[in-house]
Structure formats: structure tokens, C-alpha cells
Amino acid sequence: MMSIKKLLKKVRDGYIIKQVDKLELPVFKESRLIREYVVFSGKVQNVGFRREVYLLAAKLGLTGWVRNTEQGSVEAEIQGEELRVRFLINFMSSLRRAKVDKVESKILDLKIEETGFEIIR
């Protein structure tokens, strides 16, 4: 039998998958490739934040990684066309399920060999 906590996580994850699937992306103009290190602070853990970053990054064709920090924030390295990276950061900052109080970021060197996006546990 599944615990209540696991059941709630499964329901939440199903909701997130549906939300990202039905999201209509804007038409992006071509833009330069960038890699950005981002820290989202606020109520961003235990709300499916990492999974949503992961799913949205995949939908946008971005590469990189996302993980929780011990300080309670979520950090990520996101690489791809600048307008798509900006869209992801802005979208995640405006989520109602989470409460992003602060976003810090800095531009990094590209990792050309990188091919996917992953959640680091």
C-alpha cells in the first residue's frame, strides 16, 4: 500500500506534467546561446519545483541541471537560446504553487558537449 505522502507526490507530479504539457509556448526569435546559473529562493522545495524546471527545460530544448540546496532554495544551470532560458526563469518565478521571493543568476561559460537536462538528487 502506498503511503499518503507518496500518493500526494504522485498526484502533484501528475498535475505538473499536465500543466507543462498543455502550456503553449510563445514563438521565440532566434537568440544567442547562453548558460546561466540560477538560484530560486522562497517556498520552492516540496512543491514539485525541480520537476517543473526539468519538464519545462525539456519542452524548451534546454540543457543543464536542477537541484535542491541545503539552504532551502533550488539552484540550476540552464543552457540554450537566451530567450528560451529567460522564459523558463520568468515562468518559474511566477508559479502560484511555489513562492519565489528572490532569483539570483550569473552567466557561465557554455558546455557545448552537454546534451540533456537532469534533476540532481
Half-sphere exposure of 84 (CA within 13 A, CB side): 23
Is 46 considered catalytic here? no
Q: Choose, from 12, 51, 67, 68, the residue flagged as catalytic.
A: 68
* Cα 89 to Cα 81: distance, rounded to the nearest angstrom: 13
Positive or negative, the Cα torsion across 27, 31, 34, 38?
negative
Q: Is 68 a catalytic residue?
A: yes
Catalytic residues: 50, 68
